[in-house]
Structure 1
Amino acid sequence: MDLKSEKDILKVINEDDWMMGILTTAKSLNLPDWWVCAGFVRSKIWDILHGYSERTPMPDIDVIYFDDTNKNETEEKKLERKLNNIHPNVPWSVKNEARMHLANKIPSYSSSVDAISKFPETATSLGLKLDERDALTLAAPHGVKDVLNLEVKPTDYFKEDKERVAIYEERIAKKRWKSNWDKIKVQHIKSY
């Protein structure tokens, strides 16, 4: 199948019972400003563009939310346990983006989509959720062009300073995406 637009992405995900089940489960937590993001979305797109009939295994399913009223990491672990009780074979990872700026040593985020916009790669800066009517919604602060063109590029935020450039390059080396998706093109950042 050929993917050319955000509409195409939403269509194939709507038709994926497993992904829709993950989204329905995440929605059941009733979290503020929640999204299932990053590799959950990117991997599906790249698998289709590589013609794979089997889903590429994911190390985790990232569920994010934004709650200024409770920034305690233990709350995230409780939420992971709730998700594990519903779907025990899913590697859930839950993070409150209202506190993640501390872990990332950067200024605070204003929302979950703001956090997604500051992920290292444009192709990973994607999130999905079900709205109040259960319609699938895609957040793509950098658009979908790079992920559809199989291009791994740094977000502007990760081009801004030497430390973030190093983080981006380390992630590219560690993730080894080309071993799963050989058609991707990785843009490296020239060091300072």
Structure 2
Amino acid sequence: MARMKTEKDVLVAVQNDAIMMDILKTVQELDLPDWWVCAGFVRSKIWDVLHNFPQQTALPDVDVIYFDPDRVDEQYEKELEKQLERKMPQLPWSVKNQARMHHLNNVAPYTSSVDGISKFPETATALGVKLDKEDKLILTAPHGLEDVLQMVVKPSPGFEEEPLASIYRKRVKQKNWHSIWHKVTVVNPDKEEGSHAKSGSGKVR
């Protein structure tokens, strides 16, 4: 298994990925407030490296987030997606303003994009990267890197209990991560059976 144990290792892996860096530079050009490219964009790269995959796993979407409480209309997000599609049309862009996304889970408003990332259902997915004004690569991991580096999927704080636990369980079922990354272990809180862990053993594609 490839070595990846620290934040520096993660940053080096991203920096060495020309496509990821092109994506980050493209998003940077939008000059959005408090922007990040997050979730599977980072997590999948880490797991691909840890599984020694020769090619990067295709993403169902490239998650771009920002925080702008003064403009929370969803149509503007669609306009931003179109701008990104014109620059890199081969990618499945998804743009979301975290100033409105708390409504999805019926929780208190987020205070920033990083606060929004901390409310992602799984700790291993609560990750984001961006380029600062000096083009320095920055990583945020509100719940730390231990879970994603250990390839453990477990609910973020608040998603261990209902009603949010059902959101986590639905995502685990839909995403089926261990069918791609066979070393991943999923902690799946089950309302009927209590919390338990399941080790993935599906085939790697």
1:175 aligned partner: 175
List aligned pairs for 1:144-159, cutoff 5 A: 144-159=145-160
**In the alignment, is residue 29 of structure 1 matched against residue 22 of structure 2?**
no
Structure 1 vs Structure 2 CA RMSD: 0.9
Aligned position for 1:188: 188
Gaps of 5+ in 2: 193-205
Post-superposition offset of 1:182: 0.6
Q: Secondary structure at the match of 1:106?
A: coil
* TM-score, L = length of structure 2: 0.91
| Alpha-carbon distance between aligned partners in 1 of 2:105 and 2:191, rounded to the nearest angstrom | 20
Q: Distance in 1 between matches of 2:71 and 2:137?
A: 27
What is the 5 A alignment of 1:18-167?
18-159=19-160, 161-167=161-167
CA drift of 1:103 comes to: 2.7
Amino acid in the other structure paired with 2:92? P
Deviations 1:52-102 (A, max 9, x none): 011111100000000011000000000000000000001000000001112
SS of residue matched to 2:134? coil
Which has the larger share of helix? 1
Partner of residue 14, structure 1: 15
Q: Aligned residues, how many?
A: 191
Q: Structure 1: which 5+ runs fail to align?
A: none
Percentage identity across paired residues of the two chains: 52
For residue 129 of structure 2, what is the amino acid of its counterpart?
Answer: L
C-alpha offsets along residues 4-46 of structure 1, whole Å, 9 cap, x if unaligned? Answer: 1111000111111100000000111000000000000000000
- Cα separation, 2, equivalents of 1:152 and 1:102: 24
Q: Which runs of 4+ in 1 moved over 2 A?
A: none
Secondary structure in structure 2 of the residue aligned to 1:29: coil
For the residues of structure 1 that align with 2:46 and 2:70, how far apart are their CA atoms?
A: 35
Aligned to 2:129, what secondary structure does the other structure show? strand
Match in the other structure for 2:197: none
Q: Check the 8 A contact 2:122/2:156 in 1, yes or no.
A: yes
- TM score, norm. by length of structure 1: 0.97
Cα separation, 2, equivalents of 1:53 and 1:103 = 36
Give the CA deviation at 1:162: 1.1
The whole-number CA distance in structure 2 between the counterparts of 1:11 and 1:130 is: 14
Higher RCO (Cα < 8 Å, 6 or more apart) = 1
1:149, CA displacement in angstroms? Answer: 0.3
